[in-house]
Amino acid sequence: MSNAKNAAKAAFEPEKTLPADCDLGAEAFAHVGPDAERRDEIVRPSISYWRDAMRRLMQNKVAVACMVFLVVLVLFALIVPLVSPYTMSEQHLTHPNKPMFFRAEDGHLHVFGTDDLGRDLFMRLWLGTRTSLYIAVSVVVINLLIGVIYGALAGYFGGWIDNIMMRFIEIIIGIPYLIIVILLSMIMKSGVTSLIIAYAIVGWVGSARLTRGQVLSLRTQEFIIAAHALGSSPWRLITRHIVPNLLSVLIVNLTLAIPSAIFTEAFLSYIGMGVPLPHPSLGNLAQEGTLRFMFYPQQLLLPAVVISLTMLSFNMLGDGLRDALDPRLRT
Amino acid sequence: MNAEKLLEVSALCKYFHVSGGTLKAVDDVSFDIFRGETFGLVGESGCGKSTLGRVLMGIYGATKGKILYGGAELNPNRPGARFRYAKKAQIIFQDPYASLDPRMTVGSIIAEGMIIHGMYDARRRTERVTELLEMVGLNREHANRFPHEFSGGQRQRIGIARALAIEPEFIVCDEPISALDVSIQSQIINLLHDLQERLNLTYLFIAHDLNVVKYISSRIGVMYLGHLVELASSEELYARTLHPYSNALLSAVPIPDPRAEREKRRTILTGDVPSPIHTPPGCPFASRCPSACGRCHAEKPDLREVTPGHLVACHLT
């Protein structure tokens, strides 16, 4: 047995590569252990989860660029309509359909030109952006509030309560959104508010389902049971463990829901069910632009570019947030 | 052994209502755990070991039966009782990946229990976190990292530090090593062993690795289908196995010597564990028992003391 072992060893190590006087026995090795004087050098500064997430978001160049773009967009949408020398419905019938950077005889500059009624497109585009963003953000926030409360209740209680609440959601999903908008426009004055209400009636189901699923899976996670075993109060359990784990998913969902809300608004306005004229929105403007696309393409391209870039930025920002809020993807 | 009873469990039942009936996860289980000992609990998957551990922790309320902790009855439904009990009894989980909140730093995970129980001020807590990290074999620079930056064994050490942070006297180890590599298993077992000696802890050690249980436990309970079928000191159980299920379980333990392993007589069980929703009327093990007789199928055997300290629930012994 022992001989066979030695033979195998000899076959494996045909010649000795170490000098004869170099004896590497067990005593040649010592446990060094951590260097007590220098160990503070590798201590990472103590930072909270949210500050760490912020730091990671700031490292993501694409997400930062998108944030900057969105801030600029919001500033333009807020300020331009206030300082513009024109109003949204002010018509200049002497110079309709003018190209970009057209200067009228009275000396006024139309940066994006005018539409077929001679209204200033620069003013209308930014006011439209403001309307669209306002609708999108309020719709998403309302949906999230309703959805999170509904979904969290369903997920937290579980059992037959959850069952009934989820069947109710399935009924709502079965009703086409367009029908609700049309029905609502019959009883309400069509406008921004009715649009928001119509979308809020059906739009919350997505975030409700998302929240319910998250709460259901979090509730049975061992770290939640561990916190419970430590004696956490339900309040602490919810605020310190469930909400932080839920919030990152919801923030990402919020950022990704805004572009879809913008697009829905644009679509509804485009088919004439949305924001009533003469009030501009990105969808309205694009719809008017299509009528004259053959001759004055900028009238369609400008709102289309704003819609695309806004949606793209929100999507990219959502991606960046998802990466930043997950400590496992830490770089 | 000093025979001070830390935990007395009598006729404990835990049923779950599921679609199709009542799942009897723990059915009429009685035993005691003495202060300072390690009580091993073995059995195959789904036999109710973990549920029993969680009922003893007060995470689940018991359906029937009584738990006396240090002479006082434990009732997790009474406000405040659960909180005070949490200070004394803690749990270490099986899955070191799921049992740590991924969005908290290791330091705050360990400090959480101290915050909940209002122990120490913030400065002393930070010192305690460092002490605990070093006690379980980690370093203080680990406190500001997140759980995903650690290996399975290190995470299990964090879980142990979290349980120790509030200075409990009783710890339920719910299969703390079954998710780890064999080399890491021995580290964790030795760590638990050292901590027990240093801090005078009492363990309920749930596992399905019989060698490990034999090594660490002073007494062992064997569970089958929610019932405690045999209870004895660990030497006694290995030397004089009485219940046919324990026998089959022990014969499945591999021997690290191929010759002995080849000559070993194995009791191989046939059939499946009966559903815990539709439990058979007689002995729960009768359907798979190699020596079951008519009485076994009709009458449920009680757990009775055969020799002092050796309890078994079987008609045939």
Q: Do A231 and B103 touch (CB under 8 A)?
A: no
Cβ of B116 within 8 Å of Cβ of A236? The answer is yes
Mean predicted lDDT score pLDDT of chain B: 84
Q: Which residues of B touch A245 (CB under 8 A)?
A: 101-103
| A223 with B143: Cβ contact below 8 A | no
Contacting residues of A for B145, CB less than 8 Å apart = 44
From first to last of its 331 residues, chain A has per-residue pLDDT tens of 445 555 555 555 555 565 666 667 777 787 777 676 676 666 666 667 778 788 888 888 898 999 999 999 999 888 877 877 777 777 777 777 777 777 777 777 777 777 777 787 888 888 888 888 888 889 889 988 898 888 888 887 778 888 898 999 888 888 887 787 778 777 877 677 878 888 888 888 888 888 898 888 888 888 888 888 888 888 888 888 888 888 878 888 888 888 888 888 888 877 777 777 778 888 888 888 888 888 888 888 888 898 889 989 988 988 888 888 876 665 4
Query: How much is the pLDDT for A321?
Result: 85
Q: Which of A34, A43, A221 sits opposite B144 (nearest CB)?
A: A43
Q: Above 80 in pLDDT, residue B125?
A: yes
Alpha helices in B32-181 (DSSP H): 49-57, 81-88, 106-116, 122-135, 152-164
- Chain B interface mutation, best of A230, A242, A325, highest count of B Cβ atoms under 10 Å: A230
When CB atoms are compared, the residue of A226, A244, A248 closest to B93 is A226
Query: What b-and-e string marks burial along B148-184, b requiring 16 or more CB atoms within 10 Å of the CB?
Result: eebeebbbbbbbbbbbbbbebbbbbbbbbbebbeeeb
Contact check, Cβ <8 Å, A327/B148: yes
Task: Give the model's pLDDT for residue B70.
Answer: 81
Averaged pLDDT for residues B202-216: 86
Percent of chain B topping pLDDT 70: 98
pLDDT digits (tens, 9 = 90+) for A38-76: 766 666 666 677 787 888 888 888 989 999 999 999 998
A230 closest CB neighbour out of B102, B116, B144:
B116
pLDDT digits (tens, 9 = 90+) for B10-56: 888 888 888 777 888 888 888 888 888 899 998 888 888 888 888 88
What are the domain boundaries of chain A? 122-329
B contacts of A330 (beta carbons < 8 Å): 146, 148
Which CATH entry fits the domain spanning A122-329: 3.30.360.10, 1.10.3720.10, 3.90.25.10, 3.40.50.360?
1.10.3720.10
A331 close to A324: Cβ distance less than 8 angstroms: no
Q: Do A230 and B166 touch (CB under 8 A)?
A: yes
Site from B104, B109, B134, B172 to mutate, A interface, most A CB atoms within 10 angstroms:
B104
B270–chain A nearest CA distance, Å = 34
**Nearest-by-CA chain A residue for B83:** A231
As a whole number, mean pLDDT of residues B80-93 equals 84
Determine whether the interchain pair B141/A43 forms a contact, defined as Cβ–Cβ distance below 8 Å: yes
Would you state the pLDDT for residue A17? 60
Give residue A71's pLDDT.
Answer: 94
Query: Is B162 within 8 Å of A244 when comparing Cβ atoms?
Result: no
Delimit the domains of chain B by residue range.
Answer: 241-317
Residues A278 and A311: their CA atoms lie apart, in Å, by 24
Whole-angstrom distance, CA of residue A136 vs CA of residue A264: 9
The three state secondary structure string of A65-109 is HHHHHHHHHHHHHHHHHHHCCCCCCCCCCCCCCCCCCEECCCCCE
- Return the sign of the alpha-carbon dihedral for residues A136, A137, A142, A145: positive
> Would you say the ipTM is above 0.85?
no
| pLDDT, position A103 | 74
Residue B1 has what pLDDT?
46
